[in-house]
Amino acid sequence: MSTTVHPRQNETADAPQTDRPVVVCLAGNPNVGKSSLFNALTGESRETAHCAGVTVEACSACTRWRERPLEIVDLPGSYALDGLSGDQLEARRALLERRPDVVVAVVDATNLARSLYLPLQLLDLGYRVIVALNLSDEARRRGRMPDVEALSRDLGVPVVATVAPRGVGVAELEDAILQVAAGGGLGETLGTPLPPAVEQRVEEVALRIAARSDAGLLPPGDLNPRAAALAVLEGDADVTRAVGLSDDGFLTHADEALALEISRARHTETKALAAAAKMNGSPADRWWHLTTAPRTGIPIMIAVIAGIFATLFIVGDLLSQVLEAAWAAWISPLVTSAVTGIFGEGPLGKIVLWGVDGGIIATLAVGIPYILTFYFILAFVEDTGYMNAAAFLSDRIMHRFGLHGRAVIPLIAAGGCNVPAIIATRSLGNTRERTIAAVLATLVPCSARTAVIIGAVAGVAGWQYAILTYAVLTVVIILAGLGLNRFIPGDKGILIMEMFPFRRPVLRQVARKTWMRFREFVWDAAPIIVLGSMALGVLYEMGWIWRLGVVLGPIVEGWLMLPMVAGLTLVFAVLRKELALQLLLVFAAMEAGGAVMNIASFMTTSQIVTYAIVNAIYIPCVATIAVLGREVGWRRTAYISAGTIVLALIVGGIIARVLLPFS
- Tens digits of per-residue pLDDT, 621-632? 888 888 888 888
Which amino acid makes up residue 389?
A: A
- Tens digits of per-residue pLDDT, 533-567? 677 678 777 877 777 777 888 898 889 998 887 87
Of 4-18, 62-76, 630-644, where does the model show the most confidence? 630-644
Phi, psi of 380 (to 5 degrees): -65, -50
The Cα 209–Cα 193 span in angstroms is: 21
Give the pLDDT confidence score for residue 473 in this predicted structure: 92
Residue 474 scores a pLDDT above 60: yes
At residue 543, the 3 state secondary structure works out as coil
- 3-state secondary structure string, 495-508? CCCCCCCCCCCCHH
Residue 483 scores a pLDDT above 80: yes
Query: Which pLDDT band holds residue 598 (cuts at 50, 70, 90)?
Result: low
Over the chain, what is the mean pLDDT? 78
- Tens digits of per-residue pLDDT, 294-306? 788 888 888 887 7
- Tens digits of per-residue pLDDT, 382-426? 777 677 777 777 777 787 777 767 777 778 767 767 887 888 787
The answer to whether the CB of 615 falls within 8 A of the CB of 449 is yes
The answer to whether the CB of 402 falls within 8 A of the CB of 256 is no
- Tens digits of per-residue pLDDT, 350-370? 888 877 777 677 667 666 776
Give the pLDDT confidence score for residue 655 in this predicted structure: 93
Euclidean distance between the first and the last CA atom of the chain, given in angstroms as a whole number:
85
The Cα 328–Cα 334 span in angstroms is: 10
How far does Cα 613 stand from its chain's mean position? 28
Query: Which pLDDT band holds residue 8 (cuts at 50, 70, 90)?
Result: very low
Query: Which pLDDT band holds residue 597 (cuts at 50, 70, 90)?
Result: low
Return all residues near 320 (Cβ < 8 A) that are at least 6 apart.
Answer: 365, 366, 369, 370
Return all residues near 48 (Cβ < 8 A) that are at least 6 apart.
Answer: 4, 42, 61, 62, 63
Q: Which residue has the higher pLDDT, 572 or 235?
A: 235
Mean pLDDT of 158-166: 86
Give the pLDDT confidence score for residue 417 in this predicted structure: 75
The Cα 21–Cα 65 span in angstroms is: 10
Phi, psi of 434 (to 5 degrees): -65, -35
Q: What CATH number does the domain located at 4-181 have?
A: 3.40.50.300
